[in-house]
Amino acid sequence: MVFFHEVGFISDGFKKFPQEKLFGFGILGHNVVALRGEEARKAFFGRGDLSFTEGYLLLFGGAPTTKDISLDTPDRNDQEQMSYFLRHLTPLLKNDRLAKLTPELMSDIERNMKSWGDAGKFDPFEVMYSTVFQLTIRAAGAREIADSVEKCKQLEELYWKVEKGSTPTALLLPWIPSKARNEKVNSTGEIYAIFDQIIKDRQREGRREEDALQTFIDQGDSTVDIIGFIMGTLFAGIVNTGLMSAWIYIHLDQVPEWKDKAVEEIRALLHKYAPLEEFPDLSTAERFSKIPPQAWEDDMPVMEFCIRETIRLIFSGAALRRVSSGDTEIDGKKIPNGTYLVYSTGETHSDPNIYPNPSQYNPGRYAEGQDKAQAYGFLGWGAGRHPCVGRRFAQYEIKSMVSMFLASYTYEVVDSAGKKPDPSLTVPDRNNMYQARPKGQTFYVKYTKRQQQL
């Protein structure tokens, strides 16, 4: 992740220069310029001479790489590596494949829910990350792991060790030995070994499985390429999806009318594709499996708005680029070739000129078109030339997890003392970019099973 605590660093910088839309600083001899405002945003997200891959090369880290543990890793440049990744990811997320996967994905969600019993409470920042992890492995990994809650948990623990190994020193000065660096490399090696053994077992036994791993084996991809792709997918697809899946429970409980709207939307969706009176003996997972992937995208505007508003309030990362085609000008200021550019999404998402009362959770603002008030007014799924390729699947995950829960349980959010938290004090710890939990508090989803599912 970004080497600095992005929100504090950039916002503090602009406080020193309140009239400026740009300010510069240095990292290891490189020039970096932070940007804000609509004109800078239009240039940053819309121009083709600002390199996406080169931007993230210096200032972004965290994902494991097979270069740390295998000499067979192909020597691709960043553009070639990005092309390889997208070429392999895109087919996995098409609707026809998701339709085939749907029964297993819904079963995975239900299997996690069954462990909760009829009533109790859970920390959404523990439970939702684990569920997202399992769904991601199901979609882009290996059946041997996805079928086992225990193996998923083992892999998830290694995942977080790699994340925690991505300290500022480890990212900017990777050649300096450190405990964090060693932990990251060792955990990456363990992740590699798990998938390497699965591939060898299949080859030795002549066994085939219907999963992403088998697709890559059949294509003739090398073991190191396959494992590199799977690791990259895990680290690209889990942090933000898990975070939004946890926060949406908190926000919906704070605005009951939107929770009620979400429940009614889910009820209507189930009635359309799997009415209870027609399928009284089906499990929750089986009923939800009858909903086609396209319906999750087309027939759930309420949930769509709720997800977008959760992203707006919680997501505050930095988008990165590099000036790569000669000296340029942004918002009237000259910027030399080779300069790294940083744009804070939080600056846009909290702008009252775009979003009146920006600290308020109000999904209805998207029906009003507030996010269209300025160019690229919503940055949660990427924007301009670089939209998020995994957006549709991430939304599918969040919608399906939240919908199955709301169809099966009623709930309220409570703090450690069992009391309802004050919405005005419910803010994320923005200096923890991987797990931006409520700052200084622990919240729980206190649930009771419905007498009858929706």
Return the bridge partners of 341, or none.
Answer: 33, 321
Q: For residue 281, report the phi and psi dihedrals to the nearest 5 degrees.
A: -100, 0
The answer to whether 347 and 10 are in contact (CB under 8 A) is: yes
What CA–CA distance (Å, rounded) separates 409 from 452? Answer: 9
Length of the chain: 454
- Counting Cβ atoms within 10 Å, is residue 286 exposed (0-12), middle (13-18) or buried (19+)? middle
Q: For residue 340, report the phi and psi dihedrals to the nearest 5 degrees.
A: -90, 140
Cβ neighbors of 419 (< 8 A, separation 6 or more) are none
Residue 56's nearest CA partner among 382, 377, 282, 419 is 382
What CA–CA distance (Å, rounded) separates 370 from 354? Answer: 6
Which residue type, as a one-letter code, is found at position 305?
A: F
Which residue type, as a one-letter code, is found at position 320?
A: L
The answer to whether 167 and 180 are in contact (CB under 8 A) is: yes
Q: Is 306 part of any known ligand binding site?
A: no
What CA–CA distance (Å, rounded) separates 73 from 202? Answer: 22
End-to-end CA distance of the chain: 40
What CA–CA distance (Å, rounded) separates 373 from 353? Answer: 8
For residue 51, the surrounding DSSP H or E stretch is strand 50-51
Question: Do β-strands 382-383 and 50-51 pair in parallel, antiparallel, or remain unpaired?
Answer: unpaired
Residue 423's nearest CA partner among 256, 277, 262 is 256
| 3-state DSSP assignment of residue 322 | strand
- Counting Cβ atoms within 10 Å, is residue 85 exposed (0-12), middle (13-18) or buried (19+)? middle
Binding residues for heme are 388
Q: Which residues are annotated as a binding site?
A: 388
